[in-house]
A and B are shown apart, each in its own frame.
Chain A
Amino acid sequence: MVDVAVLLSVGRHPVSGRARRAPTDARALELALSLPPGRRTALHAGSPDSPALRDYLGMGLAELTVLAMAEGRDPTDALLARLRALSPAPSILLTGNRAEGGEDSGMLPYSLAHALGWAIVPDVVALTLNDDGSAELVQALARGQRRALRVAMPFVVTIHPAAPAPRPSAFGPARRGRITVEAVDAPEDTALAACAVRPWRDRPKRLTVGAPGGGSGGALDRLRAATEAKAGQGRLLVGPTPDEAARAIYDCLQEQGMLPR
């Protein structure tokens, strides 16, 4: 038996801007649902009306507790109080490594871990429980690399996008799942309030950039990038000898930093 709490936020589709499950939060829930049996507590701090909450229930979660608060509030204390009130206390707190839709700073799990006095491990893709109350975690690093870690319970884990994909959300369970709303008092997020907010406009990167990393901006971006005419930019070698061709490829890869030196 292992009791697990999961923090779920509302994501935002990059193209339509519509509310959806936040991709890494959904992966955190997926991991929680695939751990050995035990209590699963799912918490969301924010508006209880977001349709995206049902998407989490549709994954087979029976109940989701919403700490109802207005936008722009700092959910840390409310979540902390709610987590402390859980009895028995959970031994694992799971969440995505980055929300999408709020401040998106990835700070919340750290603040909670610090306040609870728990260890925290970010960017986890796999979790196995040992018999001695510890767990083996696997962290995703850049370029498909992996790092294993051991940590004793209780701990906080944030989930990386490379973790197993979340199961799809189904209509039936989403409709049946319970949303329990608890109104809480949350202070205004002053740091956020001090910031100027405006719509994001893409600006070109200043530098020659390598891989844009895992997250891509949706199918449209991919299509645009895939189909945009690149003619005239590439270098073309017609009918070189195999050795010339090999050297050209080698030099090119070297230049890209793909080859061990």
Chain B
Amino acid sequence: MTARRRDPRAERAARVVPTGGPRLRLALTASDSAAPASGRPRRDPRARRADATVQTAPRLRLDWSGKALAAPATTSAAAVSPAVAGRGVRAVAEPVLRVIDAPACLVFAVLDRADGALSALDRQVMAAARLLADALDGAVVALAPDGPEDWGPEDWGALGADRVLPMPAAWAQEHAPEARAAAVGAAMARWSPVHVVFPESQDGGDVARRVAAVVGERLFAGVESLSAQCVARRAGGGSRELSCAPPRLLSIAADAVAPLGPLRHEARPLDPVAVACAPRLGAARRLPVDPDGVGLGEADFILSAGNGVTDWAAFADLGRALGATRAGSRVVCDAGHLPRDRQVGASGMVVSARSYLAFGIAGAPQHLQGIGGVGHVIAINTDLHAAMIKRADLAIIADAQAVMPALIRLMRERTHG
């Protein structure tokens, strides 16, 4: 550990500038750069530019195949760390703790943390906040529901959080957009962040807009490309690109920013802010959704049958075992094996599931037109030359009637055993 233990509260108290208003302000930049009280070494501007270049050129690592897994980013966080200065980029495996004691400013990262889990988008929001903060010598404050038990400062630190502002743990489970927005608003009033970064997820985007409405500022929503100098998003029905210098409030579209590899930041906890909020949305509850009741257009995982399926009992069992939404080709819907609204294709539904598992479907053009937006296709067919086999990401030449029971067995083993 290169960091001394310190008292964050005392330090913050020392930085508070009286503003004469209800808002607290933290004195940061000027005094910081003039007198490096924390003993931080002066930074090499070129190294900083290099950092920025790596981070702001997201187009360097392109993934055309859509298959490669995102490699952990070898960011240059270490380069600004005193411990490694002059030694170049260190192995990612053991990042060195980076402490930003007297940040020039603060950047908020407001995370969803839905159901207590950190989503990929949450991580990307952290990366975006990190990028903006580093360009300004600022610190990243993660705002997220607290908990769970086994999640501690190291975990926040590994995501690049210099500070953590915990919100009530219950908000991870409850639907509390109004309270979340009020909390963010209160924190903004108290700490005057230069940027507040939200995830452009459904609930995160909701909170972002609520905050924007309350503070009366514009939200730059759904950022698709981000650098320290410029953010850009789609507008005009997808026809135009709007870009400007990073504004105060912005939300990040999914997969626009690469998540950072393991970092080590201090993740110093900040005092929770008190929130007064009388929520008007009530009685929120998840509605139970039967996979077969999900509209095909919305379904995420589709198990689909064609004329090559004869064992309909096994097909139904398999659907249940996988928790997948069942669908079929026109032939099987015509034959009454599945209802008409379960037909995939040109004259049925156009689907955009992430996974499409197809048993005994030939892959007629009218059928393929329905699965153009599908992420990943697995096809089981006895005919090596079926068009569906060509379309598939995983193609298996086998009898559907034999594979379905085997897969059911395997599912049962894995879930019960």
Binding site for B on A (CB under 8 A): 11-14, 17, 100-107, 110-111, 113-114, 119-123, 138, 140-152, 155, 162, 191-192, 194-201, 203-214, 216-217, 221-227, 229-231, 233-240, 242-243, 245-250, 252-253, 256, 258-260
Contact = CB atoms under 8 A, between A and B. Distances in A.
Contact of B70 (A201, A204, A207, A252): A207
B39 interface: no
Interface in B280-312: 280-287, 289, 294-295, 297-301
Given A211-B300, A245-B380, A250 B255 contact: no
B352 A214 contact: yes
Given A200-B238, A208-B69, A237-B397, A222 B372 contact: yes
Contacts of B392: 234
Contact of A200 (B239, B300, B355, B375): B239
B396 A105 contact: no
Given A147-B284, A206-B59, A208-B68, 5 more contacts: A12-B238, A208-B63, A216-B350, A240-B398, A242-B402
B289 A144 contact: yes
A230 B209 CA distance: 40
Given A107-B221, A233-B67, A249-B403, A14 B238 contact: yes
A144 B109 CA distance: 28
B362 interface: no
Nearest to A123: B202
B205 interface: yes
A209 B414 contact: no
A163 B402 CA distance: 40
Contact of B295 (A114, A120, A162): A162
Interface residues of B, number: 104
B323 interface: yes
Nearest to B390: A231
B234 A259 contact: no
Given A104-B236, A199-B239, A194 B244 contact: yes
A7 B246 CA distance: 30
B50 interface: no
Contacts of B205: 106, 122
B202 A141 contact: yes
Nearest to A231: B390
Contact of A235 (B218, B225, B371, B393): B393
Contact of A206 (B63, B283, B409): B63
Interface in B4-49: none
B70 A151 contact: no
Contacts, number: 298
Contact of A14 (B237, B295, B391, B407): B237
B396 A237 contact: yes
B63 A205 contact: yes
Interface of B: 58-59, 61-70, 175, 202, 205-206, 209-210, 212-214, 218-222, 225, 234-244, 247, 254-258, 280-287, 289, 294-295, 297-301, 322-325, 350, 352-355, 357, 365, 368-373, 375-378, 380, 384, 389-399, 402-403, 405-407, 409-411, 414-415
B395 A209 contact: no
B240 A208 contact: no
Interface pairs A-B: 5 shortest CB-CB: A12-B237, A100-B237, A144-B294, A226-B372, A222-B372
A200 B59 contact: no
Given A103-B242, A256-B376, A260-B323, A12 B209 contact: no
Nearest to A105: B221
B398 A242 contact: yes
Given A144-B295, A206-B258, A225-B373, A119 B281 contact: yes
A221 B377 CA distance: 17
Contact of A240 (B239, B254, B286, B396): B396
B284 A110 contact: no
B410 A197 contact: no
B395 A237 contact: yes
A152 B18 CA distance: 41
